[in-house]
Structure 1
Amino acid sequence: MDVRALEEADLELVCRHREQMFREAGRDEAVLQTMTAHFREWLRPRLHDRTYFGYLLCAAGEPVAGIGLMLIDWPPHPSHPVSDRRGYVLNVFVEPAYRRRGLARDLMQRAETEFARRGVQYAILHATDAGRDLYANLGWSGTTEMAKPIASS
């Protein structure tokens, strides 16, 4: 399995992975279509300026697994008292034919290494039910985060 960094040309692949990840988590198809269209426009400049970065694992030159990473501005916090940013992991996806081979684990370990290289002391992610056990086995734990949709006026 070869590894390479995400590139601008991976825009559609990342969009497809993200959409499929949410589809498998049971999200509504109409919402996914809307989300993907807006995500594509959000992602394009971030791939260009490398504020969205990550890795792809490839078999015979074809991407079969990917991970997205970001650094997010966050005030110093008890979990990272001297740092003003957090790592953020998103869009972890493995093609169905390549699952249960440790590829997501490999990508998560690469993420931790990359965050450490960049001086990040704390990272977060939002897990689907399918990924929760993997993340827990890698030392990730739940937080006190809560969420609420806000209706537009």
Structure 2
Amino acid sequence: MKIEYRRLTEKELNTFIDMRIKQLREEGAKEDIDLVPALKQYYIRHMGDGTFVSWLAFDGDRIIGTSGISFVEKPPYFGCPSGKIGLLSSMFTDPDYRRKSIAKELLTRVVHDAKEYGCGTVQITASDMGVKLYSNFGFVPNKNFMQYKLS
């Protein structure tokens, strides 16, 4: 098995979105809306302006792993003087291909992209399944992360 890694383009976007939905379902998300149109609009807009990048893992023509990182900016702070932050998302590997270092390779590539963009930090809300991958990579928990839902 030879895995090939390539950047996401609009050509793969429908498959990428299908895999994102699978990931959300696997993580236990409740589906009460059709998320596909909003995802498509988001990815097209942010791929276009360079604030979202993704690497895909292929086995032949089949996408077997995805990654994504969105670049956001907030006022600089001591822990991140650039104010630029990478928000990881869409880290997903087909169940038949797990435990083969595919996710680690995808993570390495998007973290490299974050460095190139000038990010001072990368953040993720990790699924239970992903905690070991991120911990081994060097991510540390932030116990004060909180969220307030507006709708």
TM-score by length of 2: 0.88
TM-score by length of 1: 0.87
Q: Secondary structure at the match of 2:138?
A: coil
2: CA distance, partners of 1:43 / 1:116: 21
Correspondence list, 1:68-147, <5 A: 68-80=68-80, 82-143=81-142, 144-147=144-147
What percentage of aligned pairs have identical amino acids?
22
Q: Alignment RMSD, CA only?
A: 1.6
Q: How far is 1:36 from its partner?
A: 3.0
Q: Which runs of 4+ in 1 moved over 4 A?
A: none
1: CA distance, partners of 2:114 / 2:50: 14
* Structure 1 residue ranges without an equivalent (≥5): none
**Count of residues in correspondence between the two structures:** 148
Q: How far is 1:50 from its partner?
A: 3.2
Once the two structures are superposed, residues 76-134 of structure 1 have per-residue CA deviations (whole angstroms, 9 ceiling, x without a partner) of 12211x20211111110111111111111111111222222222221111111111111
Q: How far is 1:17 from its partner?
A: 1.6
1: CA distance, partners of 2:21 / 2:46: 18
Name the counterpart of 1:27.
29
